[in-house]
Amino acid sequence: MAYDYAFVHLVYTIPLAGILTVILRPLLSRSDIWKTLAIILIAFFATLPWDSYLIRHSIWTYPPEAILGPRLFSIPAEELFFFIIQTYITALLYILLNKPMLHPQFLTNHEESSPATRRFRTYGQLLLSAAIIMGGFLITKGGEGTYLGLILIWACPFLLLTWTQSGYFLLKLPRACIVTPIIAPTLYLWLVDELALGRGTWAIESGTKLGWCLWGSLEVEEAVFFLVTNTLIVFGLAAFDRGTAVINTFPEIFPGTSRGMYFKSFLKAIVTTPEKYDMGRVRGIREAVCTLRRKSRSFYLASAVFPGSLRIDLILLYSFCRVADDLVDDSATNVEAEGWIQKLTGYLDRAYGGASTDVNSYAEKNFPVPSQSALKLLPTRLLPSAPLYELLEGFRMDLDFTDGKFPIENEADIQFYASRVASTVGELCLWLTFHHSATSLSKDEKTRLIQAATTMGYALQYVNIARDILVDAEMGRVYLPTDWLREESLTPRDILNNPKQPKAEMLRQKLLDLAFQKYEESRYTMNLLPSEVRGPLIVAVESYMEIGRVLREKSGIPSKTKRGRATVPGSRRLWVAWKNLNTS
């Protein structure tokens, strides 16, 4: 019997915590680890005096034969461990569900919030205030409502504080990110508590409880306790994420935040009123996230594991590249497309000329409203200009597919094209990585990494071309080298007329072989990347190369198709990400 409470942990809490740890271990960032430790410490020391009071006043009791014996301030060691393990389980579930979310997009303020949201926040404040008053009344009255009153008077002030500070952020987050990590552990712990109460592992004295049970032996006070404690944990983590999001989103408010100064900046972020938010930037980030989610599921998945500020800048870079590409590709004529390229060139001329006001004015006058934020938020201060100009030249190469021309004559041409439309983006991503990483790399290491990014860009673009033979043919384009076609007694026109023919599939496989050759040449050099970004960048590459692996398969997991393009099943994407993070 002395092992009853320990048995609860061995059977119900520790295995669940272990499973969540195994799943999340490769996904956890330093920020995740620190906020988990912080919330555990806060929960432990906030609960310690309250729990001790309950035991000393015989509101909670533990039969001596159900516990091992060691106590701290009258609290059994098993109960102290419960403070830790419950917080740990709920925190990991919250982190798992929030990992795909870019929290800066959910920042908002009073002016932007809808009337319904503002009312809901106010109702929450009133409800929690009423709960505090009710708790005080029940304690003053004494008797059967004492335990419930102690729960309310202890928990609700913390809930009111976090709700007041982060209510708009909490209401903006997807419901599953907040409600699920509250409800799922609560229901589980209700079941565990009902079993423990039924076994007599712990008990609530009858003179201080209402005597109502939800089912079986589960007292209503215990049900409320687990609900409010899990809510406290989730609200606390959300408040932490809001503060971190503010730091990452508005670097002008927190210039040069280092690890040593992070705690001071975090406290400043917590008390920064939403009225100081630059909502134009927040809305631009939201638009960039939507663009990424719609246009590149591979990079969207990979972006979830990048550190916060780097993740924002990478998404903003992707958004610019995607918007620029769409402006050119969606043009009705080559003349219109060339006009967009010239306007984009003009934008870069101004962005790197130092006149920020002129840049914004130029974007507003020359680009459609949905495109403007992608241009304005491009982090040009962190990026060299040459790769961006080269990217525009790559777009111009697409315009050469006119009047029966097929400019990709040989392997050198397709490599040159890939260097402009893909290698340039890889280099730009590296420059953002160099800026945001806390690890300093030597000039030689940076040079080797940039060269590897160039080669990996070839690989990724070749996979892209191999995937899109049908889609490109519908646009009148054939990126397969003409001399490859000639060797098979084909012309580009033959591919346009029948992109699904067996010889086209054979050439697809030839291009994929070249893609994986370039991939192998550059993959090892990625190990030079700083540890905090190595795994995420490898996931970004591997997620895209998995499309190539699907295209090469003759059997096994069938590829899905979308608009004639092979795609990777979601479960397989997740496995690739988890596996590579676990081994990076």
- What is the spatial distance between Cα 248 and Cα 496, in angstroms, rounded to a whole number? 47
Counting Cα atoms < 13 Å in the Cβ hemisphere of 303 gives 26
Q: Residue 171 corresponds to which tokens in the numbers above?
A: 């209401």
Per-residue confidence (pLDDT) for residue 234, from 0 to 100: 97
393-448 confidence digits (pLDDT tens)? 999 999 988 877 899 999 999 999 999 999 999 999 999 999 988 888 999 999 99
How much of the chain, in percent, has pLDDT values that exceed 90? 64
Contacts of 373 (CB under 8 A, 6+ apart): 280, 283, 284, 287, 288, 319
- What is the spatial distance between Cα 204 and Cα 147, in angstroms, rounded to a whole number? 9
Q: How far is CA 534 from the centre of its chain?
A: 16
Q: Per-residue pLDDT for 536 more than 90?
A: no
**Is residue 26 within 8 Å of residue 92, measured between CB atoms?**
no
- What is the spatial distance between Cα 159 and Cα 168, in angstroms, rounded to a whole number? 14
Selection from 527, 547, 541, 386 nearest residue 456 by Cα: 541
- What is the spatial distance between Cα 170 and Cα 168, in angstroms, rounded to a whole number? 5
**Is residue 160 within 8 Å of residue 152, measured between CB atoms?**
no
- What is the spatial distance between Cα 331 and Cα 328, in angstroms, rounded to a whole number? 6
- What is the spatial distance between Cα 415 and Cα 151, in angstroms, rounded to a whole number? 67
**Tokens 């035991």 identify what position?**
55
501-513 confidence digits (pLDDT tens)? 999 999 999 999 9
207-237 confidence digits (pLDDT tens)? 787 778 887 778 888 899 999 999 999 999 9
| E strand or H helix that includes residue 72 | strand 71-72
112-168 confidence digits (pLDDT tens)? 888 999 999 999 999 999 999 999 999 999 888 899 999 999 999 999 999 998 999
Between CA 311 and CA 322, with CA 316 as vertex, the angle to 5 degrees is: 125
Contacts of 519 (CB under 8 A, 6+ apart): 456, 459, 541, 545
- What is the spatial distance between Cα 313 and Cα 321, in angstroms, rounded to a whole number? 12
**Tokens 């938020």 identify what position?**
377
